[in-house]
Structure formats: structure tokens, C-alpha cells
């Protein structure tokens, strides 16, 4: 009976009242090697023309900042460590002075992190390119670190300045390579789709760059296009419904699902609709309204993917309200709507995804 008495008193284990909670143990960040792999005094700088792929030499690196942070997601404590490095990389000297050069591709330890020909840029990658012309100014990142009077314009070279590049996953400053093209086109090449149906508004088009496809919605049907082939794959003929107004057309890459809000009259009963992104099948139209009657989601919303679900968070400037809709592979449900003037704000201008910090999203 003594054990039962202890349980009643709440003194056995931490799962009953009276237990002492302990802080999570945060592992130390992996040490970052600070030796630069391709930097040496007197190293030869090649002179180039036309098109070339070259390794880089580090010519400037300020102190590398390693930051470890933690935040709570549900009941888990998530630890994130970043080691952000800014640097100036030198690749070559142009044979022809005052010539124009364009960066086509950039590699880090052999991995492609930027490709101008495909419109690809690795997440978080920030850089500026310099082709060494006489009008070239000082780099803002270097000026902010060293002061304007201590920084030159470094004219006459093909350079790249990276800003806050995370090298934690590399363990050391990586080896960079780049493809440069002389006199690259300064204008864009535009492709015309060979087959085009419907009247797609620009605000209702969703490009999925990494998959080479594009969705369009004309308030009646959904259209799927190939970006690479520049033509229409097919259209999804949605079944007839009583809706007259549509908003917040979004796509979940994790779930391969399209979603939009639809209303019978534009101010009442905005129903979330879930559609299969590959077949166009309407999986579910929620019986519950995403927002209350009289509120119009004219500002659309932002979709955030999770492991097995996604969340659409939208807002309206007419009453400064926030609302959200949760979707899975086979279900879509409104989960939240704030009152007028969310959190006391009188003007909401933008909603964008971000990291979870403590109990705030």
C-alpha cells in the first residue's frame, strides 16, 4: 500500500504532479575548420575570355559566426546550428577590359547551388557578382564589415561576394567553382505556350520550378502546363458547383494537392476545396466555412508544408483578421479564425512562413 500511497501523493515518476522537469541537453556545435582551401599568397589568377569554368580563390573572409538556437515544436525541442560565412571569391581576370560577364552556374564542393539557365538558386543563397568594370563600386557586405574607407572596389577581376553562407554542413569553408560567360544576354528569353486554354489570371498561376510544371486556375477549371516543354499537359474539368467567387489558390508539394477557397456570393460561406494535383479530382469540399459570413479573404494566404500535412494561413485587410485551414492527403478543415483586429493590430499587410519560436509561430 505504500507504493499506492506514493502515487496518490504524486511522488513517483515525473508523469504525475510534483515531478521536477529538467532542461534538455543541447549538443555542442560541430567545430568549423577555418583553413581556407584555395587561398595562397602569389597564387596565379587566370586571364580568360569567352566561356569558362574556374575554381575560386578566397581573398576576404571576416570571422565566421556559429550560432546554436533552440525552439519548441509541440513537445519536442528542436536545436539548430548555423555557421554563417561571408567572403569574396576571385575567379579570373578578363582578357578584354570593360567587357560584360554573366555568372551561369555556381558550385560548392561540387554541388550545384546556382543555375541561371534553369532559374535555380539554393535556399538561403545570397551573393553579388562583379565583372571588374571601371564603374564597379564597393561591395555592401564588405563595407558593413570593414568600413567604407577600408574597402576597395576590386576592379579588373571576376569576383563573387557571398553573404551569410551557411557552411555548418560542410565542416569547413568549401571549394567554390563557377561558370562564367562573356557578354551574356542582358535580356530574358520568353517562351510562348504552344497550347493555351482558358483565361488564366496572373494571380492564379502557381509555378513549381523544381518539377518543371505550372498550374493555372480560371475560376472554372484547373490547367497543368510543362515549363520545360512550354506546352499544356491537360486541363482538369472540375465538376459544376454553386460557387461564384474564388480565392487563395495554392499548391502543396508534400501532399501534391491544390487548394482554394470558394464562396456562393463573395461574402458568405467561403468553403475550402481540396484537389488532387495529378488527376484534378476534387477530393473534398469542406462542410465548414473557413471564415465567418461577411469577411472576404481578398488578400489570399500563404501555404506551409509539413511532413504529412499543410497549413494555409490567410488574412483580410477589411477587418484585419487571420484565418487558417489544415489539409492532409484526403481531408481539408478550417482550424482557426481570429476576431476583428487580430492581436490588437489595426493594419495587417503581409503573412509569410517562418520558423517557430517558442510558443509563437
- Note the pLDDT tens digit of each residue in 62-101: 988 777 777 776 667 777 777 888 999 999 999 888 888 9
Q: Which of 3, 29, 33, 7 is nearest to 18 (CA)?
A: 7
Give the rounded distance of the alpha carbon of 73 from its chain centre.
Answer: 20
Q: What's the pTM?
A: 0.47
Say if residue 38 is exposed, middle or buried (CB neighbours under 10 Å; 0-12, 13-18, 19+): middle
Q: Starting at the earlier edge strand, list the strands of the sheet with 332-337.
A: 301-305, 310-316, 321-327, 332-337
The whole-number pLDDT of residue 264 equals: 76
Query: What is the predicted pLDDT for the residue at 232?
Result: 79
> What pLDDT shows up at residue 245?
80
Helix (H) / strand (E) element for 9: namely helix 2-9
Q: Which cell numbers in the block locate residue 188?
A: 530574358
State how far the Cα of 83 lies from the Cα of 173, in Å rounded to an integer. 10
Would you write out the chain's pLDDT as a tens digit for each of its 361 residues? 444 444 444 444 444 445 555 555 555 656 666 667 665 666 778 899 888 999 999 999 998 877 777 777 666 777 777 788 899 999 999 988 888 899 999 999 999 999 988 889 998 899 999 999 999 999 999 999 999 999 999 999 999 999 989 888 777 888 999 999 987 655 556 666 555 555 565 568 899 988 888 998 888 788 888 888 777 777 877 766 767 788 888 999 999 999 988 887 666 678 889 999 888 888 988 877 666 655 667 667 888 898 899 999 888 766 677 888 899 999 998 888 887 777 777 777 777 776 665 555 4
Domains of the chain: 31-182 (no CATH), 190-237 (no CATH), 248-361 (2.40.128)
In this structure, the number of other CB atoms found within 10 A of the CB of residue 106 comes to 24
| pLDDT at residue 322, as a whole number | 83
**Residue 219 pairs with which residues in a beta bridge?**
none
Residues for the chain: how many in total?
361
Q: How far is CA 255 from the centre of its chain?
A: 17
Q: What is the pLDDT of residues 305-318, one digit of tens each?
A: 988 999 998 887 66
At residue 84, φ and ψ (nearest 5 deg) are -95, 130
Cβ atoms < 10 Å from Cβ of 292: 15
pLDDT at 361: 42
Amino acid at each position: 500500500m505504500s507504493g499506492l500511497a506514493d502515487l496518490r501523493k504524486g511522488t513517483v515518476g515525473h508523469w504525475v504532479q510534483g515531478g521536477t522537469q529538467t532542461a534538455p541537453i543541447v549538443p555542442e556545435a560541430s567545430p568549423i575548420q577555418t583553413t581556407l582551401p584555395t587561398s595562397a599568397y602569389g597564387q596565379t589568377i587566370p586571364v580568360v575570355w569567352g566561356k569558362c569554368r574556374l575554381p575560386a580563390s578566397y581573398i576576404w573572409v571576416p570571422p565566421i559566426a556559429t550560432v546554436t538556437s533552440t525552439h519548441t515544436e509541440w513537445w519536442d525541442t528542436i536545436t539548430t546550428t548555423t555557421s554563417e560565412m561571408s567572403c569574396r571569391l576571385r575567379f579570373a581576370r578578363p582578357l578584354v577590359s570593360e567587357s560584360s560577364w554573366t555568372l551561369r552556374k555556381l558550385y560548392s564542393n561540387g554541388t550545384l547551388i546556382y543555375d541561371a539557365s534553369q532559374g535555380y538558386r539554393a535556399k538561403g543563397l545570397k551573393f553579388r557578382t562583379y565583372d571588374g568594370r571601371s564603374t564597379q563600386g564597393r561591395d555592401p557586405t564588405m563595407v558593413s564589415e570593414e568600413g567604407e574607407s577600408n574597402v576597395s572596389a576590386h576592379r579588373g577581376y571576376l569576383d563573387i561576394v557571398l553573404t551569410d553562407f551557411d557552411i555548418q554542413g560542410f565542416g569547413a569553408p568549401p571549394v567554390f567553382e563557377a561558370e562564367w560567360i562573356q557578354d551574356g544576354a542582358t535580356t530574358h528569353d520568353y517562351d510562348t505556350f504552344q497550347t493555351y486554354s482558358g483565361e488564366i489570371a496572373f494571380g492564379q498561376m502557381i509555378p513549381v520550378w523544381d518539377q518543371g510544371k505550372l498550374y493555372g486556375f480560371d475560376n472554372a477549371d484547373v490547367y497543368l502546363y510543362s515549363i520545360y516543354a512550354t506546352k499544356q499537359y491537360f486541363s482538369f474539368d472540375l465538376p459544376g458547383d454553386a460557387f461564384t467567387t474564388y480565392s487563395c489558390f495554392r499548391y502543396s508539394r508534400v501532399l501534391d494537392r491544390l487548394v482554394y477557397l470558394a464562396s456562393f456570393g463573395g461574402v458568405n460561406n467561403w468553403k475550402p476545396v481540396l484537389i488532387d494535383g495529378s488527376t484534378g479530382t476534387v477530393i473534398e469540399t469542406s462542410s465548414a466555412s473557413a471564415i465567418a459570413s461577411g469577411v472576404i479573404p481578398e488578400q489570399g494566404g500563404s501555404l506551409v508544408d509539413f511532413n504529412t500535412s499543410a497549413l494555409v494561413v490567410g488574412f483580410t485587410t477589411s477587418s484585419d483578421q487571420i484565418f487558417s485551414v489544415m489539409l492532409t492527403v484526403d481531408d481539408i478543415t478550417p482550424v482557426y479564425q481570429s476576431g476583428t483586429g487580430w492581436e490588437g493590430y489595426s493594419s495587417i499587410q503581409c503573412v509569410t512562413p517562418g520558423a517557430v519560436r517558442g510558443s509563437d509561430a
